[in-house]
Copies of this chain bind each other. A is one copy, B any other.
Amino acid sequence: MDNIKSYVQQHKDRFINELIELLKIPSVSADSAYSQDVIDTSEAVKASLEKAGCDYVEICDTPGYPIVYGEKIIDKNLPTVLVYGHYDVQPPDPLDLWTSPPFEPVIKKTDIHPEGAIFARGACDDKGQMYMHVKALEYMVQSSTLPCNVKFMIEGEEEVGSKSLGWFVEKNHEKLKCDVILISDTGMISNQQPSITTGLRGLSYVEVEVTGPNRDLHSGLYGGTVANPINVLAKMIASLHDEDNHITIPGFYDNVEELTAEERAEMAKAPFNLDNYKKALDLNDIYGEKGYVTNERNSIRPTLDVNGIWGGYTGEGAKTVIASKAYAKISMRLVPHQDWEEITELFTKHFESIAPSGVTVKVKPHHGGQGYVTPIDSIGYQAAAKAYEESFGVKPIPVRSGGSIPIVALFEKELKSKTIMMGFGLDSDAIHSPNEHFGIFNYLKGIETIPLFYKHFVELSK
């Protein structure tokens, strides 16, 4: 423990600068304009794994962006840890809300991060958290304390639904064989109270298109005589929730697991202050499904949100037009046992069925993934819990996250291994938002904690 602490102290400036270099490459997988940058980032990740001490690193081609695979096998008879992460990032827009350019990382102090935080797109999600594992490996190799085999699988399509990962995993069962999968792509409660994510929501992401007249029309000459695709889309979206904010898609809740009063009481123990929550978002009130509290609404309950909407004239000034088409991107967060493909079908069937005559509707499924729950009695969870307790001096709390890492369910199915989600980010890190950042404390603490997981995992596996 002391060795790793002093090693991190000694090398922290280099650790920070190496991450900053990685953050400068705009690896936005959702926008093809950045495709070369995504490729360049995979090369940079490969180089960093070689430098950290992997015996073998390869850039694996896929139908989409490449997957970087690396390994250090010290003894076939020892356990193997498979580290998963992603080197692609969310689109940075809206750019005008960033206080510094998203791909020009800067270190700024904040109330929560008095030691400073790195501000850049991907600082936390997931370049920063992924890179902690690279630096932890460097330490274990340099100090000859690596207690088992390690494999890395770092992909470049996580922010667009890991399109090629399933294809890759199915083809490489042998290569990816492992005893546990380790991911840092989630958060923890606070720097004083670590937590381990034991549950994730699934996701179904679709794009809808409503078409009315075959061309844009003058709203004076045609206003009132034809279905306006934007008005219709608004009506259709509005109808997807009832007045209690329940989702109205028939069959949507069929497989949703209702937690017991005891389980809900357990959840309620996690520290939460509603006033601070509202204050942090400048909200006069919260909003959500009747019968559940905030911590339940974003973890054990499914949701439906419009992530983007557009149609008609959106430029400067005014244009009196009835648009020919209107569009929306809609995503549903799902809970364990809700099958994302089935939900996507239910949505499509329902959305098409509520289209009024006078318009035609298309639903295009984008991507999705299943929810997941990690048993807290597993060796992997126990090892992670010990690691956090040793490095933070506080027992971590198991929590269900509202986010989705669809591939976790895929790993269990294909590789028959449990996944442990050791997150070191904070909700306030603004991932997916302008001014995303990652605390220096969190970054270095992660590097310190990961080797402890290896140690305890190998011991508990004996």
Contacts and interface: CB of A to CB of B under 8 A. Distances in A.
A238 B235 contact: yes
Interface of A: 29-32, 90-91, 93-94, 97, 159-161, 187, 201, 203, 205, 207, 212-228, 230-231, 233-235, 237-239, 241, 281-289, 294, 297-298, 301-303, 305-324, 326-329, 331, 333, 356-358, 360, 366-367, 401-404, 427, 430-435
Given A238-B238, A403-B218, A321 B432 contact: yes
Interface SS, A side: loop
A224 B302 CA distance: 8
B30 A315 contact: yes
A32 B316 CA distance: 8
B282 A213 contact: yes
Contacts of A213: 281-283
Contact of A310 (B241, B310, B403): B310
B287 A317 contact: no
A93 B324 CA distance: 12
A159 B321 CA distance: 11
Given A313-B329, A357-B287, A432-B321, A402 B221 contact: yes
Query: Which of the listed residues A223, A287, A313, A322 has the most CB atoms from chain B within 10 Å of its own CB?
Result: A223
Q: Which 5 A-B pairs have the closest CB atoms?
A: A220-B403, A30-B317, A308-B312, A224-B303, A238-B238
A367 B30 contact: no
Contact of A321 (B288, B307, B320, B321): B307
A31 B297 CA distance: 43
Contact of A215 (B97, B231, B305, B310): B97
A228 B305 contact: yes
A315 B201 CA distance: 24
Contacts of A434: 215-216
B227 A333 contact: no
B403 A221 contact: yes
A319 B432 contact: yes
A309 B311 contact: yes
A21 B415 CA distance: 69
Contacts of A160: 317-318
B214 A282 contact: yes
A203 B286 CA distance: 36
A214 B430 CA distance: 11
Nearest to A289: B224
